[in-house]
Amino acid sequence: MEKFQTLRSGVVPLPIENVDTDQIIPARFLKATTREGFGQNLFADWRYQPDGQPKADFVLNNPRYQGQILLAGKNFGCGSSREHAAWALYDAGFKVVISSYFADIFRGNALNTGLLPLQVSDEVLQGLFRQIELEPETQLVVDLPSQTLSVPVWDATIGFELDAYKKECLINGYDDIDYLVSQRDAIKTYEQLRKWVF
């Protein structure tokens, strides 16, 4: 996993609520057996016509909006557990998704992919949507060590929450596997002591 420290970037706004992982990456694109290349099919049915031509009204096809931060409506990533959704966003160049809340499985998958799910209040989210609509070139600064989101044009800095362990993992590019494997002895002891196996 790549390390994440600080990001200054423009924003791609997607003001839709309950964006499900079938929209992020439709099931018919899940037939690959590797992790790479899902970015080209990110939001495929919103982004392309059936003949493969880009749909002009979809935000990813609008050159006004550029950046590595996706700004999305509440309950982003609901539905299927497919980690391919996080891979597709990451593969397409996104490093941060900002929303007012995330579906549980997506949040975990994003963190395991190196994609930061950054949760803000509904009020901040709506404010950001308005700001980006007014000034599409607005830049945001995400600083993970201090857990802050800065909006330079507002002269404002907003804190966000993140599990301390997960934060360390993102900053250092670690994942959970090394830690879990290091716990082998404790796991073996647990297996010997448990009684409810029939």
Partner 1 sequence: MAKSLFDKIWDAHVVKAIPGGLEVFYIDRHLIHEVTSPQAFDELQERGLPLSRPGQILATADHNVPTRNQHLPIEDPLSRSQVDKLTENCEKFGVELFGLGHQYQGIVHVIGPELGVTQPGMTIVCGDSHTSTHGAFGAIAFGIGTSQVTQVMASQCLLISRPKRMRITVDGALQPGVTAKDIILHIIARLGTGGATGYFVEYAGSAIRGLSMEGRMTVCNMSIEMGARGGLIAPDATTFEYLQGRPYAPQGERWEQAVDYWQTLYSEEGAEFESELSFDAAAITPMITYGTNPGMGIALNGNIPVLGTDGEAASFDKSLAYMGFAPGESLLGKEINYVFIGSCTNSRIEDLRAVAAYVKGKHKAQHVEAIIVPGSKLVEKQAIAEGIDQVLAEAGFELREPGCSACLAMNDDKIPAGAYCVSTSNRNFEGRQGPGARTLLASPLVAAITAVEGRIVDITQYLN
Phi-psi region of 52 (alpha: psi -120 to 50; beta: other; left: phi over 0): left
Q: Is 86 in the site for partner 1 (CB under 8 A)?
A: yes
Contact code string over 109-148 relative to partner 1, x by CB under 8 A = x--xx--------x---x----------------------
CB-based contacts of 22, cutoff 8 Å, min separation 6:
79, 80
Smallest CA-to-CA distance from 115 within 97, 102, 88, 92 is with 97
Q: How many residues does the chain have?
A: 198
**Paired residues of 7 in beta bridges:** 142
Helix (H, G, I), strand (E, B) or coil at 96: strand
Q: Is 2 in the site for partner 1 (CB under 8 A)?
A: no
- Which of 34, 53, 56, 57 is close enough to bind partner 1 by CB under 8 A? 34
- Which of 2, 17, 133, 135 is close enough to bind partner 1 by CB under 8 A? 17
- Which of 7, 8, 9, 18 is close enough to bind partner 1 by CB under 8 A? 18
Pick 2 or 137: Cβ nearer partner 1: 2
What is the helix (H) or strand (E) element at residue 133, kind and residue range?
A: helix 122-134
Q: What long-range pairs does 26-32 form, CB within 8 A, spacing at least 24?
A: 27/80, 27/82, 29/84, 30/82, 30/84
Q: Is 53 in the site for partner 1 (CB under 8 A)?
A: no
Residues engaged in binding partner 1 (CB under 8 A):
15-18, 20, 22-23, 26-28, 30-35, 45, 50, 73-75, 78-84, 86, 101, 103-105, 108-109, 112-113, 122, 126, 163-165, 175-177, 179-181, 183-184, 186-187, 190-191, 194, 196-198
